Amino acid sequence: MADRPPFEDLYREFLGRIYAYVRSQVGTSADAEDITAQVFMNAFHAYARFEVRNTTPAAWLFRIARNATLDHFRAQGRRDRLRRTIEHQPMAEEDPAGKAEDRIQYRALLAQVAELPERQRDAISLRHSGLSFDEVGKLMDCSEDAAKMLYHRAVRALRTSLPEEAP
């Protein structure tokens, strides 16, 4: 099919974004690497059936990534997911005091995200992986407006649950 880009181009274009999305969902870079490899292996095997007119390459790949991540969690159990999410650490900063404060805030945010309903968590993660609301809606089997609503409700819930910063 002429509309479909070569798979190698999709791999180069989306590898970093898919890895970042998966890494935001799992606790270790090793798990993220394994799942990302599985995503592209699954995509490669299904590429002959991919039709550009039905969805964007990004939405198609992120659907595969989301499913692979959910499969991983089903295998590991929900309790392990919550533990890994809370223990997930941000990248190191140059200032040790600032790094410690950032880590505390990041853990608090991740703990609050973990408390959100699953569909709101998915909307936040997918949207922050660079997908449009239309793509998020397609991945989550809902309308673009419903995806926006899920995302904005999640953001509102996070704003109300996190403590205000001191001026």
pLDDT per residue over 44-69, tens digit each? 999 988 887 778 888 899 999 999 98
Q: What digits encode the pLDDT tens for the residues 92-109?
A: 446 666 667 767 777 777
The percent of residues in the chain predicted with pLDDT above 90, rounded, is 29
| 127: enclosing H helix or E strand | helix 118-127
- Whether 163 has a pLDDT exceeding 70, the answer reads no
State the pLDDT confidence band at 167, using cuts at 50, 70 and 90. Answer: very low
Q: Average pLDDT, stretch 26-31? A: 84
b (16+ CB within 10 A) / e for 106-130 = ebeebebbeebeebbbbbbbbbebe
SS3 content of the chain, % helix, strand, coil (to 5): 75, 0, 25
How far does Cα 128 stand from its chain's mean position?
Answer: 7
- Whether 31 has a pLDDT exceeding 70, the answer reads yes
pLDDT on residue 124: 85
pLDDT on residue 43: 94
State the pLDDT confidence band at 12, using cuts at 50, 70 and 90. Answer: very high
Angle, helices 118-127 vs 96-115, to 10°: value is: 130
pLDDT on residue 109: 75
For residue 90, give the nearest of 103, 101, 80 by alpha carbon.
Answer: 103
Calpha distance 65→166 (Å, rounded)? 38
- Whether 83 has a pLDDT exceeding 80, the answer reads no
- Whether 78 has a pLDDT exceeding 70, the answer reads no
